[in-house]
Every structure is written in structure tokens, then in C-alpha cells.
Amino acid sequence: MVIAIYLVILVAAFYFLIVRPQRRQSMARRQILSAVEEGDEIVTSGGVYGTVLAINDDTLDVEIASGVVVKIARGAVAARITPEPELHDDEQDGDTEAEWDGDLDDVDDVDEERPRHEDGDTES
């Protein structure tokens, strides 16, 4: 009876620690591959960055440099690179950091309230 309990625990652990995460990873990979469209920037499993020009059944035509187009296997896509959203001047809240001119007199000392040790570190 005890052996059967151990066997059930072992099977459950195997399922939750191996099978289930592998299924999730496989599903995420399929979603990445199906979401690739023309014009997307991608990175291949070999580390090559490029822009998708054409999508065929099992291959992609990817431009890796100006005028250099390579054909790669669709499964070689490791990730889609999503561009960061650009902020326009009218969308900024005005809380962007000003560029530092190198003058240390303009820097506020944020640790003025905190006492310092002899070695210069602040107390925690």
C-alpha cells in the first residue's frame, strides 16, 4: 500500500514538474511562430536579427542587412522584437530627466537627512 502511495506521488510530481511546464513552453513557442508577420523584426535561434520580408509555408525571407536577404526555417525564429512605443512631444508629461551638464553643484544631496558612518556609508 505504501508503495502505491509513493508511486502516485512520484507520477504527480513528474507531471507537475516536467510535463506541464513543457506543454506551456511548447504552446508559447507555437504562439510566437504563428504571430510572425511581414515587417516584423525577429531574432533567430542563432542570434541573427532581421526583418521579415516574406512568409512561405515552412520558410521566411529575412533581411538581415540592407540588401541582404536570407531564407530561414520558420522554426528558427526565437523571438519577435516588439518596438518600444515612441512618445511624441505633446504626449510627454514633462517629467523627463534633463540632460546633465556635468556641474556637481546642481546635484541635490538626497542623503542629507541620513546620518553617515565614519567610512562614508549611510545607515540602513
Domain ranges for the chain: 2-84
- How far apart are alpha carbons 3 and 15 in whole angstroms? 18
pLDDT of residue 93: 55
**pLDDT of 88-114, one tens digit each?**
655 555 555 666 566 666 555 555 555
Beta strands in the chain (DSSP E): 41-44, 49-55, 59-65, 68-73, 77-81
For the 2-84 domain, the top CATH level (class) is mainly beta
Of 59, 49, 116, 114, whose CA–CA distance to 83 is shortest?
49
Q: Hey, is 56 helix, strand or coil?
A: coil
pLDDT of residue 7: 95
